[in-house]
Amino acid sequence: MRSLKDNFLSYLVPFRMSYRIKSPNVILLVIIWIAALCGPAAAQEQPSQVNLGTAVVRVAKQNIPAVVHIEVTERQEMLNPLLPFENDPFFRYFFNVPRMPRKFKRELKGLGTGMIIDSQGHILTNNHVVGGANEIQVLLADGNRYKAKLVGTDPKTDLAVIQILPKASIPHVVFGDSDKIEVGEWVIAIGHPRGLDQTVTQGVISAKHRRGIMDPSNYQDFLQTDAAINPGNSGGPLLNLRGEVVGVNAAIVSQSGGFEGIGFAIPSNMAIYIARQLITHGRVERGWLGASLQDLTPALAKSFGLETLKGALIADVTKGGPAEKAGIKRGDVIMSYQGKDISDGSALRNEVATSPVGKAVSVTLWRNGKEVQTILRIGNKEDAIKMRISSIKGRLGADVRPITPKETEEYGLKSKQGVAIIWLDPDGPLTRAGFEVNDLILAINGKAINGLEGFVDQVDSLPAQQRVVLLALDHQSGRTGYVQVMVN
């Protein structure tokens, strides 16, 4: 069957010859009419198609030069595990063991991937690849090797930035908008799985907004993909078919330790924000809402007169915090933030965390069966931590500080693991349990403490008048043990 365009053109040609139209304006009007009439039909007849094989080759060639192999060395000083027995005469007699050193050193090696993000040699990777490393070596695709320095890390998002000083200009990746990527869209992963350099795999986006994969308290909002990701891929790029980075490969779900079709990548929008913060400030400055958030359930949504489960329920408001100053109350449901729909509490927390401190943002609330608009001025997360620390002094009868790098090395701890006691209430719970100033608290109820903020988060979530088990380290002997404490 002939198309409308074919019929029209077959009519136009004899028309032009018969009437010998010489006016350019008339011809131009006819052409515009043809385009308007036949354009959509023509586009429908010739849909644009993407050759997946060609696209993967093109993206690989374009980005492999900007993907680097990272080798790390971590040196740890450990307490001798046999130290408690060294003064035991029976142990020394039967095993003929000489007096042992108090500590010994060990060296750990690790591999990972990174991507060059600018011409200054900044490289984006995962915190779990380079965090705590004493030495970082970077191998470029062209074979050049560089020693790298650590610019900054952010354990809350598992991101880090390192830097090399290249001898000449170097290629770098281009970032895309991870908010626009769709489930089912083709993606390409590049990395160094198990030390195999410049490995390229392909797959699709399996899901978006995967949260609570590793630590529910962290700022995580993963893209899920079935592109093959294995140990060593961490820190490598996940790219769309235009060659833009849409994610940073970070984790897998696996029973075997290898690829099983479930991988996770940190969205590029979050990654580039964190990278810029680390490059500019050496740390991440996060926004603060000043409210406790809760996800909606069908029963709660019905009680509030909502027809959807989308939104973040305000469970409590911090006195003097940004939310209270903006007139936000307990029981409000935040439906949108800066015009962007909010799906749940984690989504809102991530939006606030990546908002500049002091910025005024528009918020849409659901209150008493109707929408309410308000303006919220973003607070500083560090100020929030200080306020929360003062509020938990009474619960444990203690004040704490972060672990120093010297203590981390001396006791063989992981980076930012635990907190140290700097003040004790003589009649408080920790004093009654036998704690002293400078003792370390490493875990609460079996859950490791990740820095000062992690400690505050855990203590805040403990019910009142309940016994908890603390993993403590005695600062004098260096020994660890479990202690039961009644929390006020």
- Per-residue pLDDT, averaged over 203-209, amounts to 94
The reply to whether 220 falls in a domain is yes
The reply to whether 421 falls in a domain is yes
Enclosing domain of residue 371: 287-377
Residues 321, 274: one domain?
no
Residues 238, 306: one domain?
no
Residues 149, 243: one domain?
yes
The reply to whether 349 falls in a domain is yes
Please state the domain count of the chain.
Answer: 4
Label the pairing between strands 237-239 and 379-380. Answer: unpaired
Domain boundary among 348, 377, 406: 377
The reply to whether 51 falls in a domain is no
Q: What band does 252 get if pLDDT is binned at 50, 70 and 90? A: confident
- Per-residue pLDDT, averaged over 389-404, amounts to 85
- Answer yes or no: 439 catalytic: no
The reply to whether 50 falls in a domain is no
Q: What is the pLDDT of residues 403-459, one digit of tens each?
A: 988 888 888 888 778 999 999 999 999 999 999 999 999 999 999 998 888 898 888
| Average predicted confidence (pLDDT) for the chain | 84
Residues 132, 223: one domain?
yes
- Per-residue pLDDT, averaged over 140-146, amounts to 94
Catalytic residue among 206, 234, 268, 355: 234
> What are the C-alpha distances in Å from 305 to residues 8, 60, 298, 316, 363?
57, 51, 11, 20, 19
In the predicted structure, residue 9 carries a pLDDT above the cut 50: no
Q: What is the pLDDT of residues 302-338, one digit of tens each?
A: 999 998 899 999 988 888 889 999 999 999 999 999 9
Q: Give the whole-angstrom CA distance, residue 406 versus residue 179.
A: 41
- Per-residue pLDDT, averaged over 50-56, amounts to 81
Residues 386, 477: one domain?
yes
Give the CATH number, domain containing residue 436: 2.30.42.10
- Answer yes or no: 158 catalytic: yes
- Per-residue pLDDT, averaged over 263-274, amounts to 95
- Answer yes or no: 192 catalytic: no
- The predicted pLDDT at position 301 comes to 93
- The predicted pLDDT at position 329 comes to 94
Beta bridge partners of 160: 125, 153
Percent of the chain with pLDDT over 90: 55
- The predicted pLDDT at position 460 comes to 77
- Per-residue pLDDT, averaged over 351-371, amounts to 93
Residues 120, 249: one domain?
yes
- Record the pTM: 0.72
Q: Give the whole-angstrom CA distance, residue 287 versus residue 221.
A: 17
Domain boundary among 223, 255, 284: 284
The reply to whether 248 falls in a domain is yes
Residues 261, 323: one domain?
no
- The predicted pLDDT at position 43 comes to 39
Residues 250, 304: one domain?
no
Catalytic residue among 69, 122, 128, 192: 128
Catalytic residue among 69, 122, 154, 158: 158
Instruction: For tokens 């079935």, name the residue.
Output: 226
Residues 115, 184: one domain?
yes
- The predicted pLDDT at position 128 comes to 92
Structure-model confidence comparison of residues 414 and 33, the more confident one: 414
- The predicted pLDDT at position 46 comes to 37
Q: Give the whole-angstrom CA distance, residue 249 versus residue 237.
A: 6
Q: For 103-234, where are the alpha helices, taking DSSP H only?
A: 127-130
Residues 89, 199: one domain?
yes
